[in-house]
Structures are given as structure tokens and as C-alpha cells.
Amino acid sequence: MYEIRLHSRGGQGGVTAAKLMALAAFRDGKYATAAPFYGAERRGAPIVSFIRIDDMPIKIYSQIHHPDLVVVLDPSIIDLVNVFEGLKSDGKVLINAPEVPEKAKSYNVRYVDLTDIALKTNLVVAGSPILNTPVIGALAKMGLFSRESASAAIKEMFSDERNLNAALMAYEELI
Amino acid sequence: MPGTSAKEYICKCTSACAGCSSSLILRHVLKAAGPDTVLVVPACCTSVLQGVWPNTAFNIPVYNVAFAAAAAVASGMAAAFEASGKDTNVIAYAGDGGTVDIGIQALSGALERGTNFLYICYDNEAYGNTGMQRSGSTPFGARTTTTPGGKIQEKKDLDRIIIAHNIPYMATACSAYPQDLVKKVQKALSIKGPKFLHVLAPCPPGWRYDASQTIELGKMAVKTGIWALYEREYDKLTINGPTKAAMIKPASLEDYLSMQGRFSGLTKEQVGIIRAGMERNLKMLKWEAERGC
Amino acid sequence: MLMVSTGNNAVAAAVRQANPAVVAAYPITPQTEIVEQIANFVSKGSLKAKYIPVESEHSAMAACIGASITGVRTFTATSSHGLLYMHEMVNWAAAARLPVVMANVNRALGPGWNVWAEHTDALQARDTGWLQVYVASVQEAYDATLMAFRIAEDRRVYLPVMVNLDGFTLSHITQQLDESRAGDFIPPLVLDHRIDPASPQGYGCMTSSADYFLIRHDIERSMRDSRAVIRETEDAFFKSFGRKYSWTEDYCFEDADVLIVSMGTLGKEAEVAVDILRKEGIKAGSMRVRWIRPFPDLDLKDRELVVIDRDYSFGFGGILASSIRAKTGKECYSVIAGLGGQEVTYDDIASFVRSRRIGTEFWFGVDA
């Protein structure tokens, strides 16, 4: 089983990103679950989503304490929450950032500027850059699911092709 | 603000959204009311704003209660304070859902019995705490998660329901006019018996506008005439200045509506219905103020 | 159609398949997405139901009762305090013999306000005459909702059915869903006692002490008859859709020396604990109880029982543990865990089994 913990802020689409991940893994023929963990409805609050991918049916509903992968959609969360807590010793980190933040430097970090990609592809809604579809491209590049399944999942959930364009750009630009 | 406590009763650590009208309203309400105050809060955004046990962001006693019960709990509390000879302000502070829908039975009863308390309804025109579903207070044409095509019924006329109970003091207010709000809270708390404030509370995630525009939007609501500012002592009506001005030279209703994503896609016909409802209300107010019933 | 879905959306999708004529709707966390999704379906025309956005949960059930007695299919959803607020009408719907189906997303009771999973809300309604089933996956939420309509509407039953799913833990999790078309799996509703001006009757009128108990006995008679209907329906479901359901879902059951008994998603997590314990040489098994009303005959034999209650009856005990003790005479290790969404992992469950003391009660997070 592969366990991913995704950190975002309310309103950034982290919950949808988790669903997209589950859908992409499902389209790859895997079992997958995506579970958000939030308090009351509120924009801007840090939230966490737990994603599990496995070849067997997943029976675990409790939180992920030792993720294989930590995804950080908003780097400012790193100052509020220990996003690396419990990360497996061989675990990886994916951060939305133009460069590796100081606090992350001791980890195995991949990064890509999703915010910049969203702005470049005009993937902006009500003033906010959309990060949940581009991050799927970066995750596909990391091997979480196939590029085909990632694209299929995005197309299934979003008709606007800017989403797919941004994801493909993130796939290419992941460092 | 003159006449109010300089002390803050809401700490900076609330869980409010950016641009939240309710926390702004409550901040001024508490400054006007002072420390000898208990808030009775049913399920609503304010239940959440306080924060999570063991912390609270409010520096006065807050009694959290079930959704339907605010006015009834306040009734009991007010009676008990009276029996003990205490002057403590009892303020029920509820959203529109907990007032106009599930809370209306308790509210009507409390008003009819002459309960000595102040009920403040902060109206963000939907069920905010659960993610913006329609309430009876949602205006015609507004999109909510349970009215994806726009609400087909008109906004329930809470004010005239309150007026039917013939209480000593009732007023409307708006988060964008804090001095007016403070005056009305102080006026209310100086009177014995049931008092009611209906406060418009523009809500960024619910009405779908940028959080920085809460004040501007609140002012637009009053300037267009869609939200009237007035006071009543029993049946004596006083229309406040900004609404008198709006009756003479209203700001553009279309501008007010176009600032909000919840009204996107309104047809001309629908705007006409909103305008007609607004004009009917202002006409009734004007008629009553001129003739004095 | 194969897709991914949340528990709430799966319930809404099943409701769309069942095609009720009237849906009463009131929001409450964590059920709200059910009524929102149904609003979407109605708005887009994919469900032709009358959608009543009522002003409270008491009115939600009242509206369902008013609709149901005319002979049409009805549905509503609630949770926690909403279920409590409609408690009078929940009782009414059962005694009025109405096949209302309701999804209840299990959530803790306040004060303090807590929006996370706990079963006390629905278990407090166990005396009302409603049938109650507890699901543990998105697929099961869908399937149980479809079956609920068929069971409720069977002439031998004519009792309302509550489908329970864990708040947030199941309502908000995304898993795979086979959104099977219901086809003719749910026959059209024929309510023999429906209102008909051509054949006027009085409903629910004053009833004397000489007669009232007969009504109550009749409810119980149907509750007993519902056992056969549940069996038939779940068997028919397996034939039509290939997914098997029964009174319980058992895992490593046959040769188990110690059985973990629980409800809801904890019952799935328990299976992971079973795997861990088996590797240690402990012959553990898991029994996830699905039906609470009618309460099933449980085949427990000599096994030691570790019963996990995500609920409590003050001054008495865990409701599942108490029910098992009452029905079978068997003592158990009664674990109280998961209240208010308290996290319970497979490791925790395995430790309950290792440290079991039969005949005692253990409050997880409190007792040592």
C-alpha cells in the first residue's frame, strides 16, 4: 500500500486533488481511497487529506501517520504545521514552490511551481490559481499513476482543457 | 467608538473567514453591551468562530445551544437572572437559519411572552456553517448549494413577523454601519422587554465576492434600498438617514447584484422581481412613516 | 457504471435510482452533501422528485409522513441532532406504518459540538420500530439504500428503514463505486393503507387502552416478518448485482477463538487487526454487525468476544455489547472507542484483543 498525506488550505482544492488522485489510481486498475480531514467549513484553514493506493481492497479508515509521500499545495503551511511528521525514512515530499523551502531541505523533495503554472495557463477562478489539477501532472511524473490515467481522470472531472494543459505542464516542469 | 468599551471581547484568534461580517458585528455588539453580558448561541457560524475546546476566543460567557433553541434558552436564562435580581444582559446571537427557519417557534414564543432579552439575527442569507444552503432568508434568485438554479421563493419577511409581535424595540442594521449598530444595541439594552435586531451580514464564501469588499457590499445593500435601515418602538417607525437617502436617490441595484457570484446569470425578469420586492418594501415603510399607524 | 464516489454521493446516486416522488431536505454536517446532490439532480432533471427544503428536521420527517401516506416513495437524510430533533416524528413514521427511507450519517451529540463519527444518535432510535442497517463502504452505502426501499415497501413490512454511515469517515471518503442501474429491482410502491378520498378512512385517531396494544404488537409482528424480507432482498440483490450481504460481515470467522464485534467502518479496520493478530498466532476473527433492528441471531459459539461500541448508554453500558449479552447470555470484553470521531486504528484494535479481560468494560483513552 502507498500512503500519501496532502496538505492544503481550505478553498485551494486540496480535497478535489485527493479525489483526482484516487480516480487516477482507479483508472490504473488499482484500489484507492481519498479521505479529507477537516473541521467546520472555512476558507484558508490548513486541511489534510489522506490518500491510499493499493493492489488489494483498502480496509483502513484511520489517519495516515507514516506517509510514503507528503504533498504540500501551499508552502506557507510549512510554517504552521509539521507537514513532515511521521514521514517514512525513505519517504518523499512534493511541494508547490519555485524552490525548495528551507525547512524542507533535509528531505527527499521534488518541487514544481504549480501556482506559476496555473497563472501561465490562465487556470484562475475568482482570483485564486487552481492547483488541484496541475499537481496531478507532477504526481504522474513521480510515478504515482500513469500519465494516461492522470489525463483521463482530469478530463472526467473537468471539461475545461486548461486543467489538462496545466497538468501536462507540471508533468514537464517537475524538478 | 464613543460610548463603547475600549476593551475587546473578541480575541484575535477566531476561526472566522476573511471578510466575515458576523465577527465584525459581534465585536461591536459586545463593545456596546459591556462585560455583564451572556451570549446564547445556537448552531451557526458563531458556534465555530469561538474556536475549539479548551480555548475560546470570546471574553464573555457564551452558552452554546441546539439549533432550534436559542430564544427558548434565552427565555429561561432571562427569567433566572430576574429571579436572582441580576441585571446581566442576555443576548441571543443567531444566524438567519436558526432564526427564520428552525428557530422561529422559540423566537415567537419568547417575544409573545415579553421576555427581557435582546435577540440579534445576523443574516448572511443562507445556512453558512454547513456550506451555504438556502434558508427562508435567502433572497429570490440567489444561488445556493440547494438552489443551484437560483431560489424561486422570495426572502421571508422576518421583520414584519417580528413587528406583528408588537415589541418595545426592533431595528435593522448592517455590518457596514458599525456606529449605527452600536447605537441600536445600546438603545435596545436600555429598554426592558423583548428587543430584536436584524443585521445584514455579507458573507464572502456564500455571496461569492472578494473578502476585501464586505464593507463596500454592505454599504451598497443600504444605498440601493434592498436593505432598509430603520427602528421601531412598538409601532412607531423611524427610518434612518441612509435609507431616507436611498429612497430619494438609490444606488444601482444591478451594480449591487453584479458584485456577487450568487446572483450571476440573473435574467432581466428576475432582476425586475427583486426590484419590485424592494420597492414594495420601501413603499410600505414610507407610507407607514408618513402616516404613523 | 464504475467510478469513484464519496459515501454521501453514493447515497444520493442510489436515491436517484430509486426515484422517490418526494424528498424532504434540511442541511446538517456531515450529511449535507446528500441533500445538495439530490438538489442538483432535481435541478438538472435527472431526478423528477418534489424537493421540499423544509425549515427543520422535525418538519423533514413530517413532510415525508405526509407524502408517504398518499402512497408515494419518499426519502430524507439527517444526522445527530437532526435525528434527535425529529425523534417524535421518527416514532410517528414507524407507528403510522410508512415505508420512508432515511440515510443517517452517524455523528456525535453535543454539547460540546462535535461533527465526527459516533453511533449513539441512531442507536437512541432503536426502540422506534425503524429497521436499521449500518454500512462500511461507499459501495455498501449505495447498495443498502437501494435495498432499503424494497424492504420498507414490502407488504409484510411497511416499516421505515434507516441506512447508517459513519460521519466523515465514510460520508466523505472517496472509494470505488459500481453505480448499478436498479432496473426493476425495486418494484413500484403499493401502499395498501394509502389515503384515498374514494375510500375515506381516519388515520391515527384516538385509540383506547383496550385496543392500542394491538397496534404495537402489529409493528413487532412486521418487524419479525421483516427478517425473511431482508434475507430475500439481500439474496435477490446478490442474484441481480453479484454483491453479497447478510446480517453480519464476517472475516476469518470459522476457526476464530476470539471475535472482534463492531459496527460501521471500525468493522473493516478490525479485519486489518485480525491479519496482524493471526501473524502473532492469535486466532482472531471479525464480525461486523450490519443489522441492529431487527437484531439478528448471532452465531457466536464458544468464541471470546471483544465488542467495540462506538456509542454508549449512560448508566448501563455499550449498546452493542449490552444487546449481545441480552440476546445470547455471553459476557464480553466491552470496549468503548471511537466516540466523537476518536481515532481508532487497526493497531489499537489489535491491542484491545491482546489485553482483553472478559467481563469488564474498557474506555479507550481513559482506562489503562
Contacts of the segment C123-126: beta carbons below 8 A, 24+ positions apart: C123/C292, C123/C311, C123/C313, C123/C319, C124/C83, C124/C84, C124/C87, C125/C83, C125/C87, C125/C90, C125/C162, C126/C292, C126/C293, C126/C319
Contact check, Cβ <8 Å, A40/B18: no
> Which residues of chain C lie closer than 8 angstroms to B130, CB-CB?
27-29, 32
Separation between Cα atoms, residue C91 and residue C150, nearest integer Å = 21
Q: Is 70 exceeded by the pLDDT of residue A40?
A: no
Are A62 and C269 within 8 A, CB to CB? yes
Helix/strand/coil (H, E, C) string of chain C?
CEEEEEHHHHHHHHHHHHCCCEEEECCCCCCHHHHHHHHHHHHHCCCCCEEEECCCHHHHHHHHHHHHCCCCCEEEEECHHHHHHCHHHHHHHHHCCCCCEEEEEECCCCCCCCCCCCCHHHHCCCCCCCEEEECCCHHHHHHHHHHHHHHHHCCCCCCCEEEEEECCCCCCCEEEEECCCCCCCCCCCCCCCCCCCCCCCCCCCCCCCCCHHHHHHHHHHHHHHHHHHHHHHHHHHHHHHCCCCCCEEEECCCCCCEEEEECCCHHHHHHHHHHHHHHCCCCEEEEEECEEECCCCCCCCCCEEEEEECCCECCCECHHHHHHHHHHCCCCEEEECCHHHCCCCHHHHHHHHHCCCCCCEEECCCCC
Alpha helices in chain A (DSSP H): 14-27, 114-120, 134-141, 147-157, 162-173
Which of B1-10, C132-141, C253-262, C343-352 is least confident? B1-10
Q: Is residue B269 part of a domain?
A: yes
ipTM over 0.90: yes
Contact A126 B18 (CB under 8 A): no
Q: Do C36 and B134 touch (CB under 8 A)?
A: no
> What nine digits make up the cell of C277?
493478530
Rounded Cα distance, B285 and B238, in Å: 9
Residue B159 lies in a domain: yes
Q: Which 3 state secondary structure label does DSSP give A110?
A: strand
Q: Which residues on C lie below 8 Å from A58 (Cβ)?
A: 175
pLDDT reported for residue A42: 58
State yes or no: pLDDT of A139 exceeds 70.
yes
Q: What is the pLDDT of residue A46?
A: 83
- Digit-coded pLDDT (tens) for B18-53: 899 999 999 999 999 999 999 999 999 999 888 888
Does residue A39 carry a pLDDT above 70?
Answer: no
A26 reaches C (C-beta below 8 A):
yes
Q: Which of C33, C113, C114, C168 to mutate to test the interface with B (most CBs of B within 10 A)?
A: C113
CB contact A45 to B (< 8 Å): yes
Pairwise CA distance, residues B182 & B185, whole Å: 5
Give residues with Cβ within 8 angstroms of B188, minimum separation 6: B118, B169, B171, B195, B197
- Cβ contacts below 8 Å, chain A against chain C, sum to 57
- Residue A33, chain C, CB below 8 Å: the answer is yes
Per-residue confidence band for B156, with pLDDT thresholds at 50, 70 and 90 = very high
Contact C324, C261 (CB under 8 A): yes
CATH-assigned architecture of domain C248-363 = 3-Layer(aba) Sandwich (3.40)
Assigned domain for B5 exists: no
Cβ-Cβ contacts under 8 Å between B and C: the total is 55
A98-123 tens-digit pLDDT = 999 999 999 999 999 999 999 999 99
Q: Which residues of A touch B208 (CB under 8 A)?
A: 126
Please report whether residue B173 resides in a domain: yes
Domains C2-178+210-241 and C248-363 share a fold: yes
Partner-chain contact B18 A41, CB within 8 Å? no
What CATH number should be reported for the domain holding residue B92? 3.40.50.970
Identify the domain containing residue B218 by its residue range.
Answer: 21-291
Indicate whether B274 belongs to any domain: yes
In a domain, B152, yes or no: yes
Q: Is B179 on the interface with A (CB under 8 A)?
A: no
The distance of A49 to chain C (nearest Cα, Å) reads 10
* Closest CB to B149 among C43, C56, C112: C43
Of the options 3.40.640.10, 3.40.50.970, 3.40.50.150, 3.40.50.10470, the CATH number for the domain spanning C2-178+210-241: 3.40.50.970
Residue of chain B with shortest Cα separation from A127? B210
Mean pLDDT of chain C: 97
Task: With CB atoms and an 8 Å threshold, state whether B17 touches A126.
Answer: no
- Picking from C343, C290, C334, the residue whose alpha carbon sits closest to that of residue C312 is C334
What residue segments make up the domains of chain C, in order of their start?
2-178+210-241, 248-363
Q: What mean pLDDT comes out for the span B143-154?
A: 96
Task: Examine residue B279 and state whether it is found in any structural domain, yes or no.
Answer: yes
Confidence class for position A41, pLDDT limits 50, 70, 90: very low
Mean pLDDT of chain B: 95
Q: Which of C333, C257, C251, C271 is closest to C301 using CA atoms?
A: C257
- Min distance C91 CA to chain B CA atoms (Å): 20
* pLDDT over 80 (residue B240): yes
Taking CA–CA distances from A39, the nearest residue in chain B reads: B48
The structural domains of chain A, ordered by start, are 2-173 (3.40.920.10)
> Which chain A residues are closer than 8 Å to B130 by Cβ?
41
Indicate the residue type of C333.
Y
User: Is residue A43 predicted with pLDDT exceeding 90?
Assistant: no
Give B273 to chain C, closest Cα distance, Å. Answer: 21
Q: For the residues B148-152, what does the mean pLDDT come to?
A: 95
Best of C2, C3, C4 to disrupt the A interface (most A CBs within 10 Å) is C4
Chain A nearest-CA distance from B133, in A, is: 12
Question: Is C176's CB within 8 Å of A31's CB?
Answer: yes
Over residues C279-321, the pLDDT tens digits come to 999 999 999 999 999 999 998 999 999 999 999 999 999 999 9
**Residue A60 forms contact with C (CB below 8 Å):** yes
Distance from CA of C346 to the nearest CA of B (A): 27
Residue B278: inside a domain, yes or no? yes
In this predicted structure, the answer to whether residue A150 has a pLDDT above a threshold of 60 is: yes
